[in-house]
């Protein structure tokens, strides 16, 4: 018998302009899985997290991740999974990717790490495909690797880890509104005007340049989304007004976290991030919408073993 206990962090995808190609890991918030390997063949999953999840293991993102690992390595065994801590599904802070990353990392650890870090991301993407109907790594890669990542390409997967400025804070609010990733993707146009594409390319370049040079002001200017936000902000009541209030706190930017409904504000000082967090809370409280709010540093730590 072999057993591991794994923590995988929450994450924020897109970062405004980086639709499907950029994401960052958050400190402190995430999923915990305990995984046990025994002789045999099969998968059992027990949910002890208190967060409602599908009873059918075929609908749990952990299942295709484990199967992908066995396919990639040629191994076979029975795997018992206990989900001990879980980000609420539909939160917009990488719920499916946290479990997927934890499962992929845990399987690799149980077998003595036969896969590279990038291959672990490939495994985790199987869970993302089940959750959203597409293979994307903007949550899975930062959840596995930590920090801020750029996915340069998918065929083959090419992930680049970018520098994380020391003074990089996020205020993230998860309003108790459920927006499924599939629904949030379905409303997006299949084609975009050239002028919107040009604006997006410029912002992605500016965001990467700002991170590489430590120019936090440039990072804030570049975190603008001309592609997905104009459509997805309709899921979040009072989005434009909220952004105005957030920027008045001194925050550098405010964007939708992944497909929503979570919203995050970026700041270069912790006190500004805390002030932005208060504004986020007040906004949804006034609307009578429940929420969870976190003020955390961007984390260089990805998925890891815990005691």
Q: Is 181 a catalytic residue?
A: yes
Catalytic option among 128, 229, 249, 303:
128
State the maximum Cα–Cα separation within the chain, in Å, rounded to a whole number.
59
Q: Is 213 a catalytic residue?
A: no
What is the Rg, in whole angstroms, of the alpha carbon atoms belonging to the chain?
Answer: 19
Catalytic option among 181, 229, 249, 303:
181
State both tokens at 50: 């208190």
Nearest-angstrom CA–CA distance, 65 and 78: 14
Nearest-angstrom CA–CA distance, 214 and 195: 28
**Phi, psi of 231, deg, nearest 5:** -95, -40
DSSP classification of residue 34: E
Residue 166, Cβ density class (10 Å: 0-12 exposed, 13-18 middle, ≥19 buried):
exposed
What's the Cα-to-Cα distance from 240 to each of 102, 174, 219, 230, 237, rounded to whole Å? 35, 17, 20, 10, 9
Residues noted as catalytic: 128, 181
């Amino acid at each position: 018998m072999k057993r591991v206990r794994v923590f995988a962090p929450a994450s924020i995808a897109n970062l405004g302009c980086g639709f499907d190609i950029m994401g960052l890991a958050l400190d402190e918030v995430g999923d915990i899985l305990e995984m046990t390997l025994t002789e045999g063949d099969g998968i059992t999953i027990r949910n002890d997290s208190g967060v409602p999840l599908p009873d059918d293991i075929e609908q749990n993102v952990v299942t295709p991740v484990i199967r992908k690992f066995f396919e990639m390595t040629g191994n076979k065994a029975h795997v018992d999974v206990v989900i001990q801590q879980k980000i609420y599904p539909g939160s917009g802070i990488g719920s499916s990717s946290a479990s997927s990353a934890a499962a992929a990392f845990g399987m690799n650890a149980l077998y003595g790490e036969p896969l590279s870090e990038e291959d672990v991301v490939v495994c985790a993407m199987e869970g993302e495909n089940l959750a959203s109907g597409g293979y994307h790594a903007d949550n899975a890669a930062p959840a596995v690797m930590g920090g801020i990542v750029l996915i340069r390409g998918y065929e083959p997967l090419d992930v680049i880890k970018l520098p994380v400025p020391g003074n990089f804070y996020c205020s993230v609010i998860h309003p108790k509104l459920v927006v499924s990733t599939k629904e949030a993707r379905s409303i997006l146009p299949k084609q975009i005007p050239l002028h919107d594409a040009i604006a997006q390319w410029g912002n992605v370049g500016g965001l990467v340049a700002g991170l590489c040079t430590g120019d936090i002001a440039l990072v804030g200017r570049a975190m603008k989304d001309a592609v997905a936000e104009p459509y997805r902000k309709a899921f979040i009541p009072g989005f434009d007004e909220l952004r105005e209030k957030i920027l008045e706190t001194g925050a550098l930017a405010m964007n939708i976290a992944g497909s929503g409904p979570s919203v995050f504000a970026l700041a270069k000082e912790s006190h500004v991030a805390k002030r932005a967090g208060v504004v986020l809370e007040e906004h949804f409280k006034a609307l009578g919408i429940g929420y969870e709010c976190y003020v955390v540093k961007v984390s260089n730590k990805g998925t890891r073993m815990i005691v």
